[in-house]
A and B are shown apart, each in its own frame.
Chain A
Amino acid sequence: MTALQDKHEKEIKHILAKYPTDEKRSAVMPLLYIAQRKAGYVTKQDMLEIAELLSISTTEVASIVGFYTLYHDKSGGKYRIQVCNDLPCALRGSGQFLEELCENLGVQVGETSSDGILSVEAVMCLAACDKAPMFQVQSHSDISYHENQTVESALQTIEKWRAEETDK
């Protein structure tokens, strides 16, 4: 049994049950989400274990991590702030929002803050175009939406996380 399986036995069993027994490769995406929970990115060891569990090669697992934008193979901010700056949002001022947010946080788009707590990314449409400006936050364990934002409201939310992290 791999370490991943050891730790999440019940959950993994539940995931595998969703797919035909000879098609367990389908579980690769859900298993990557589980692996990513630990540190916000998928380690080489995780890929090895997932490959073993599903009887596919580690290269195949790695290529999936590379293909999909919500998987990461390097550590980033604990909170990945992903601001939508796609066309419909941009028509409603997301470009300026992103710029001012970065200025206030002292972080450039694509970079992580020096305390490692947050990174800011510009992303494509998140199906919330009528609620621009908006961003989603990918943390280690989940993704949440923050819509109809102003720079002030966004900063407030972000400061709250920062405070929580420094309290820890």
Chain B
Amino acid sequence: MSKVKGSRILLRHRDIPKLDKLDVYLEDGGFESFKKAVTKMKPDKVTEIVKDSGLRGRGGAGFPTGVKWSFIDANNWPHYVVANADESEPGTFKDREIMEQNPYQFFEGVMLSAYAIQANDAYIYLRGEFWDLAHELDKKIKKLEKSGYLGKKLFGTDYSLNLYTHLGAGAYICGEETALLESMEGKLGQPRLRPPFPPSFGLFGKPTVVNNVETLANVPLIIEKGAKWYRKFGTERSPGTKVFSLSGNVNKPGNYELPLASTFRELIFKHGGGIPDGHAIKAIMAAGASSSLIVANDEALDTPMDYESVQNVGGMLGSASVIVIDETVDISWLVNKTVHFFKHESCGKCTPCREGVFWMSHLTERIDNGSGSREDIVLLQDVANNIQGKCLCALGDFSTQAVVTGIERFPEDFKAKVSPNQAARIKINE
């Protein structure tokens, strides 16, 4: 039986030394779930347990994983599983830790999802910068082939499975699942028009499940210990644990795995050790650079971090990449930073995003360097509003979140920047 200490389901390597070694993982009960599934369970049963567990996608959208698997078109073959290991959202570094230190649990999750949808080939799409990691994973895949966990006719059954890595080459947009599939097909990483969605038209036009690394890493323990056990963590609608990537102005940045619905206060002050140099906390971005800016008042700090509650304080849980912003930070500088990210990463396929983000970056740059006017703030807001809801994928909307909420919730930072009174301008520590 796999050992679980407290609420650490995914970062178990912190409790079990050398869990990244195959013999240690096996000794801990590793691949028992996969073996049990392949030899004793109907594929649909695996999907059903994952559905019952209430596991939701950890890549950002929070879509119920088992439900996604059940959408796979059973009249069109072959099927594919693609693990999304693109991890490029600023502030997100959880999938990397899982793959580096608990890789076999992640593999086993990929393998269980492949069995559930009867895919014989599964791919792991890693961002190109995870070069070393991809080569390590390749070696481990070889080990699994040698030990009979991957390959033809597994455990004497008719089921065969191959696992491959595929390296991207530096493009945030390839984290968007349809752009990722295009990229895997050897094309530009640009999103597809949807519907059809990947479960009916995915990789090479075939039914495909795309899941985030963290999502998949949950699966082996859910199959081993059951949906009811998994639901002991978190809430009714947001069950399970979540790896929170904590970054920014905080004493102890890092990954923290906590049950969903833990509060921001607990994460930032108890685990993260609070704000450096005795500064006060000013704002929180809960889902990386794509998030809205939450005013860090007591109400926000005491908000449970689950998919529903974060929305109530004007944010999104997304990938749970919590960026902490202290009182010394000028929000107009921050917004300029996030807009530049999206300008760099816009894929250029649809006009509102391509042109809008470009235009926003001129305005934020001007405001940030002190040559902007009050009208620029109004115009910036207007451009942002005109991007929202008009783009082919969510990147366009993402680019406007910090802009719109920054101007709305921290108006004084923008006004100070465009004021003719230079003394009022806040110097930032770039």
A binds B: yes
Judged by a CB distance under 8 angstroms, whether A30 is at the interface is yes
A32-B91 in contact (CB<8A): no
Enumerate chain B residues within 8 angstroms of A25, measured Cβ to Cβ: 185-187
Within 8 A of A (CB), among B244-298: 245-249, 253-255, 289
Q: How large is the interface on A (under 10, 10 to 19, 20 to 34, 35 or more residues)?
A: 35 or more
B248-A68 in contact (CB<8A): no
Judged by a CB distance under 8 angstroms, whether A56 is at the interface is yes
Judged by a CB distance under 8 angstroms, whether A155 is at the interface is no
Within 8 A of A (CB), among B121-145: 127-132
Complex CA gap A67/B253 in Å reads 32
Judged by a CB distance under 8 angstroms, whether A154 is at the interface is no
What string of 1s and 0s marks CB contacts (under 8 Å) between A16-46 and chain B? 0010100101111110110000000000000
B337-A129 in contact (CB<8A): no
B89-A125 in contact (CB<8A): yes
Enumerate chain A residues within 8 angstroms of B127, measured Cβ to Cβ: 127
Q: How large is the interface on B (under 10, 10 to 19, 20 to 34, 35 or more residues)?
A: 35 or more
B91-A129 in contact (CB<8A): yes
Enumerate chain A residues within 8 angstroms of B67, measured Cβ to Cβ: none
A142-B132 in contact (CB<8A): yes
What string of 1s and 0s marks CB contacts (under 8 Å) between A42-69 and chain B? 0000000000001010001001100111
Beyond A68-B169, A129-B247, is A86–B341 a contact (Cβ under 8 Å)?
Answer: yes
Judged by a CB distance under 8 angstroms, whether B332 is at the interface is no
Enumerate chain B residues within 8 angstroms of A54, measured Cβ to Cβ: 186
Beyond A127-B96, A129-B91, A145-B132, is A68–B325 a contact (Cβ under 8 Å)?
Answer: no
CB distance from A141 to the nearest CB of B (A): 10
Judged by a CB distance under 8 angstroms, whether A105 is at the interface is no
Within 8 A of A (CB), among B187-201: 187-189
Enumerate chain B residues within 8 angstroms of A93, measured Cβ to Cβ: 429
Complex CA gap A27/B247 in Å reads 36
CB distance from B274 to the nearest CB of A (A): 15
Contact of B248 among A32, A88, A128 (CB under 8 A): A88
* Chain B residue with the shortest CB-CB distance to A86: B90
Contact of B168 among A68, A88, A132, A145 (CB under 8 A): A68
CB distance from B275 to the nearest CB of A (A): 11
B188-A67 in contact (CB<8A): yes
B247-A91 in contact (CB<8A): yes
**Most B CB atoms within 10 A — which of A71, A88, A125, A142?**
A88
Instruction: Please list 14 pairs of residues, one from A and one from B, whose beta carbons are closer than 8 Å in the complex, sorted by A's number.
Output: A25-B185, A26-B166, A68-B169, A68-B170, A70-B170, A86-B289, A86-B341, A87-B338, A88-B247, A91-B325, A124-B341, A126-B129, A130-B255, A142-B131
Q: Residues of B at under 8 Å CB distance from A?
A: 87-93, 95-96, 127-132, 164, 166-172, 183-189, 204, 245-249, 253-255, 289, 323-325, 329, 334, 337-338, 341, 344-345, 347, 429-430
Besides A63-B188, A91-B249, A130-B255, 14 other A-B contacts (C-beta < 8 A): A18-B166, A33-B167, A68-B169, A68-B189, A87-B289, A88-B248, A93-B429, A124-B172, A125-B90, A129-B92, A129-B245, A130-B246, A144-B132, A145-B132
